[in-house]
């Protein structure tokens, strides 16, 4: 409000041609700021959608199908393994098998499930 008050005071004390020129310049600046802000926001949304912001990339969850030595990774019950307290790993030349255990009391583990 104060900004517009002082601009009306300045415009009223100047010639009509210079007041119109000042108003046109102010409108042009306001419009350019508005559209440059919209373009900048759209640009950032596009970068975020593509996963590239600056020099960093969006975190992609790795696929755990094989371990570092090329053995297949097998979860016996993947949904139950998410709630597991302990995971027991059995390894041979071809596979790495994870079986889940849940801590049911201090010092007591849930019995191991039979192989499926």
Tens digits of per-residue pLDDT, 102-113?
A: 666 555 555 555
State the pTM of this model. 0.39
In this structure, the answer to whether residues 43 and 78 fall within a common structural domain is no
Residue 56: pLDDT band (50, 70, 90) is: low
Determine, yes or no, domain membership for 76. Answer: yes
Determine the structural domain holding residue 10 and report its residue range: 2-57
Report residue 70 CA to chain centroid gap: 31
Determine, yes or no, domain membership for 27. Answer: yes
Residue 95: pLDDT band (50, 70, 90) is: confident
* Total domains in the fold of the chain: 2
Determine, yes or no, domain membership for 64. Answer: no
Quick check: 94 pLDDT over 70?
yes
Determine, yes or no, domain membership for 14. Answer: yes
Determine, yes or no, domain membership for 79. Answer: yes
Determine, yes or no, domain membership for 67. Answer: no
The two tokens of residue 21 are 């020129």
Determine, yes or no, domain membership for 39. Answer: yes
Report residue 6 CA to chain centroid gap: 45
In this structure, the answer to whether residues 53 and 77 fall within a common structural domain is no
In angstroms, the CA 61 to CA 88 distance is: 23
* Helical axes 16-50 vs 2-13, angle rounded to 10°: 150
> Given this model, what pLDDT does residue 41 score?
95
Longest dimension (CA), the chain: 94
Determine, yes or no, domain membership for 65. Answer: no
């Amino acid at each position: 409000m104060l900004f517009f008050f002082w601009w009306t005071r300045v415009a009223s004390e100047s010639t009509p041609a210079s007041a119109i020129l000042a108003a046109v310049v102010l409108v042009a600046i306001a419009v350019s700021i508005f559209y440059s802000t919209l373009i900048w926001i759209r640009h950032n949304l596009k970068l975020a959608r593509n996963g590239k912001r600056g020099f960093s990339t969006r975190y992609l969850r790795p696929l755990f199908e094989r371990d570092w030595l090329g053995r297949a990774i097998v979860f016996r019950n993947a949904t139950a393994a998410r709630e597991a307290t302990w995971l027991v790993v059995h390894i041979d030349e071809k596979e790495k098998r994870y079986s889940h255990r849940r801590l049911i009391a201090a010092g007591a583990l849930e019995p191991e499930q039979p192989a499926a």
